[in-house]
Structure 1
Amino acid sequence: MSAQPSPLPRVVIVSHGQPSDPQIGETEISALARAVAQALPGRDIRGATLAAPGALEDALDGSRDALVYPFFMADGWFTKSVLPKRLTGMQARQLPPFGLDPDLPEFTQQWLQRVLDEAGWQAGETGLFLAAHGSGKSDKPAEVTRAFAQHLAALMPLRDIRCGFVEQPPFLADMARNMGDKAICLPFFALKRGHVLEDLPQALDAVNFAGLRLEPFGCQPELPAFIARRLALG
């Protein structure tokens, strides 16, 4: 039996999740949804992953005209194919993914400026390494990363910005090499899973990366308020 319709407008924040252990991803995205809900009263905000069987459908059950917010960095296969198919027949509208938010470069610039201030560094003497997923099948994820880097460079006069990828050249280790002590590694990932825990630190260690290593976007304390502002615009 379907759930009773919620009296509040429904929003479901959707991430990929962890297929090998779906509950880990469910716990993570649900925590983010609760934090966003605190910043956006008057909405019924829930989290779900694609990896957990039935989680998305359960999160949408009983909703009317729900918004679905893909917490993905690129508009690729999961947001173009997998998610729309899962939403077929449901009363839900899919929003653009997090990584394509036009305000994300400014959010990142403010975040990086705080990091620079704490380190006592100047932007012009600091290099930034954007570590991203990439894809062996499509150029789209890499294009999103490079476009983000260009927008960020227009906002912040960093010494240089390099992009390296897990699944395509230029690879992580190749681009993280010889960046010097005044360098920052920013994982262009939504959450601290998989590649961020394994491939990225291995690549940085392999080339003796001596700079600062930041957490991915989903770990930033200011992120729930940022997402709440986007969702308020619908």
Structure 2
Amino acid sequence: MSFSALIVSHGQPSDPEVGEAEIAALAADVARHLPEARIDGVTLAAEGRIEALSADRPGALVYPMFMADGWFTQSQLPKRLADGVGPQLVSFGMDCTLPMLAANWCRTVCTENSLDPYKTDLVVAGHGSGKSRRVSDATRRFAEQVADVVKPNSVRCGFVEEDPSLEDALSGLGTNAICLPFFAARRGHVLEDLPAAVAASGFEGIVLDPIGLHPDVPKLIADALRWRATTPDVSKCVF
């Protein structure tokens, strides 16, 4: 079954071409798992591009490369899509298969570093928001689901824009600790706020790449798109 899909991220308003290059590369990686489909990547930050691209992709599925469903995915994104485009899938950070991917990653990291997962402290670093609890709720739910599999000594969440802060969440831990950034890309907060919090807290554990950069993510997205393309009546699906 052939189909089209748009992978949409927020992008980088200060330098839209950076975000456009990142999402195009991700789309190309996803497309390798979907030879039957036409996959494009686009950002909201690049003025006029999502409008133009979606107008040329009637019926395309829309995959939000966001960590939670909120204002961008529920309000801005639908308004900027051309008529006839959709449906829109759940955001990347809320994909039901993501926690298992992260749990397996944490287990692998423990094995590679001779850590006992049951004695390891897990810190999930997220964005948070001063306006809505949607983002932090999604982060906490993700952290709980990962912890249910890994069974770490403890699990904490820390945020850029709400309490507990990243610094507080990273404080007081030894070398048997893993920080997993609940972000889609390596820029902004991951390059600035997270390293600053690690330094200020004296965190001595392992800081992983953002979950969105895990090498298995393109296949995860491809599986979600293929499933949605072949299951038009989701009301009959059991979740």
Give the shorter-chain TM-score range: over 0.9
Alignment of 1:226 with 2:220, yes or no, is yes
For 1:20, the equivalent position in structure 2 comes to 14
Deviations 1:2-40 (A, max 9, x none): xxxxx9411010000000000000000000000000011
**Which SS does the other structure have where 1:48 is aligned?**
strand
Alignment of 1:64 with 2:61, yes or no, is no
Note the C-alpha offset of 1:89.
2.4
Note the C-alpha offset of 1:136.
0.3
Separation (CA, whole Å) in 2 of partners of 1:23 and 1:107: 29
Alignment of 1:168 with 2:171, yes or no, is no
Q: How does 1:9-158 map to 2 (within 5 A)?
A: 9-87=3-81, 89-158=83-152
Asked if 1 retains the 8 angstrom alpha-carbon contact of 2:8 and 2:41, the reply is yes
Note the C-alpha offset of 1:149.
1.4
**Which SS does the other structure have where 1:170 is aligned?**
coil
Of stretches 144-153 and 83-92 in structure 1, the one that deviates more from structure 2 is: 83-92
Q: How does 1:203-222 map to 2 (within 5 A)?
A: 203-222=197-216
Asked if 2 retains the 8 angstrom alpha-carbon contact of 1:9 and 1:64, the reply is no
Note the C-alpha offset of 1:76.
1.2
Compute the TM-score of the two structures, normalised by the length of structure 2: 0.92
Compute the TM-score of the two structures, normalised by the length of structure 1: 0.94
Asked if 1 retains the 8 angstrom alpha-carbon contact of 2:123 and 2:178, the reply is yes
Deviations 1:47-96 (A, max 9, x none): 00000012212332322211010000011111111111112524322111
Note the C-alpha offset of 1:45.
0.3
Asked if 1 retains the 8 angstrom alpha-carbon contact of 2:42 and 2:49, the reply is yes
* RMSD of equivalent CA atoms: 1.3
Kindly tell me the number of residue pairs found equivalent between the two proteins. 228
Separation (CA, whole Å) in 2 of partners of 1:118 and 1:97: 31
Separation (CA, whole Å) in 1 of partners of 2:84 and 2:13: 24
Asked if 1 retains the 8 angstrom alpha-carbon contact of 2:34 and 2:222, the reply is yes
Note the C-alpha offset of 1:223.
1.2
Moved runs in structure 1, 4+ residues, more than 3 A?
A: none
For 1:181, the equivalent position in structure 2 comes to 175
Deviations 1:197-216 (A, max 9, x none): 10111011111110111111
The answer for unaligned runs of 5 or more in structure 1 is 1-6
The answer for unaligned runs of 5 or more in structure 2 is 229-239
**Which SS does the other structure have where 1:79 is aligned?**
helix
Asked if 1 retains the 8 angstrom alpha-carbon contact of 2:64 and 2:92, the reply is yes
Asked if 1 retains the 8 angstrom alpha-carbon contact of 2:33 and 2:219, the reply is yes
Separation (CA, whole Å) in 1 of partners of 2:209 and 2:183: 9
Asked if 1 retains the 8 angstrom alpha-carbon contact of 2:103 and 2:147, the reply is no
Note the C-alpha offset of 1:112.
1.1
For 2:233, the equivalent position in structure 1 comes to none
Asked if 1 retains the 8 angstrom alpha-carbon contact of 2:33 and 2:222, the reply is yes
Note the C-alpha offset of 1:133.
0.2
**Which SS does the other structure have where 2:5 is aligned?**
strand
**Which SS does the other structure have where 2:32 is aligned?**
helix
